[in-house]
Amino acid sequence: MAMDLTVNGVRHSVDVTPDTPLLWVIRDHLGLTGTKFSCGIAQCGACTLHIDGKPVRSCSVPVSAAVGKTVTTIEGLSADVTHPVQLAWIELDVPQCGYCQSGMIMNVVALLNRRPNPTDAEIDAQITNACRCSTYHRIRQAIRLAASRISTGGRTL
Partner 1 sequence: MSDNDRTQQELSRRDFLSTTATAAGALVIGFWMPARAQGQTVNPDGAAWSNESAADEVNAWVVVAPDDTVTVRIAQTELGQGVWTSNAMIVADELQCDWSKVRPQYASANRDAREMAPKWTLNVMGKGATDPSGGGEPEFGTRDRTGVTGIPDSLYRRMRTNAAASVKDGRYYLQLAGAEARERLLLAAAKTWAVPVDEVSSANSIITHRPTGRTVTYGKVASLAAQTPHPNPERIRIKPPSEWTLMGTEQKNLDVPLKVSGKTVYGIDVKLPGMKWAAVKSCPVYGGKVKSYDFERIRKQPGVISAVEFPIPDPSLIRGRTFGGGVAVIADSWYQAKTAIDQMPIEWDVPPQYAALNTAAIRAKLIAALGEPGNVHVNLGDCNDAFSGAAKIVDATYSVPYLPRARMEPGNATVLVTDDRVDIWIGDQSPQETRYSASRITGIPETNVYVHLCHLGGGYGRNGNGPQAEQAIYIANKNRGTPIHLLWTREEDFINTTYRSIGVARLRAALDNDGWPIAIEVRTATDAEAPGATAGFDVAPRYFAPNYRFSIHSARFHIPVGTRRGVGAPAQHFYRESFMDELAHATGKDPYLYRRELIARTNLPYKADMIKALDMAAEMSGWGTPLRQGTARAIALEERGAEDGHHATISAQVHTVSISKQGEVRLLRVDVAHDEGFGLVNPLTVKKQIEGQIVWFYNDVMYQECNVTEGRIAENNFDTFQLSRIKEDPPQINIAFFKTGHWLDGMGHDRGTSIQSGIADAVFQITGKRYRDLPLRNHDLTWS
Tell me which residues touch partner 1 (CB under 8 A): 17, 20-21, 24, 28-29, 31-41, 43-44, 46, 73-75, 77-78, 80-82, 84, 86-87, 89-91, 93-102, 105, 120, 123-125, 127-140, 149-150, 152-155
For 13, the enclosing helix (H) or strand (E) is strand 10-15
Checking DSSP bridges between strand 2-7 and strand 70-72, what pairing results, if any? parallel
Q: Which of residues 4 and 75 has its CB atom nearest to partner 1 in the complex? A: 75
Close Cβ partners of 114 (under 8 Å, ≥ 6 residues apart): none
Q: Cα torsion at 97, 151, 72, 127 (round to 10°)? A: 50
Q: Which of residues 4 and 28 has its CB atom nearest to partner 1 in the complex? A: 28
Q: Which of residues 35 and 56 has its CB atom nearest to partner 1 in the complex? A: 35
Q: Which of residues 51 and 87 has its CB atom nearest to partner 1 in the complex? A: 87
Residue pair 49/69 in contact (Cβ under 8 Å)? The answer is no
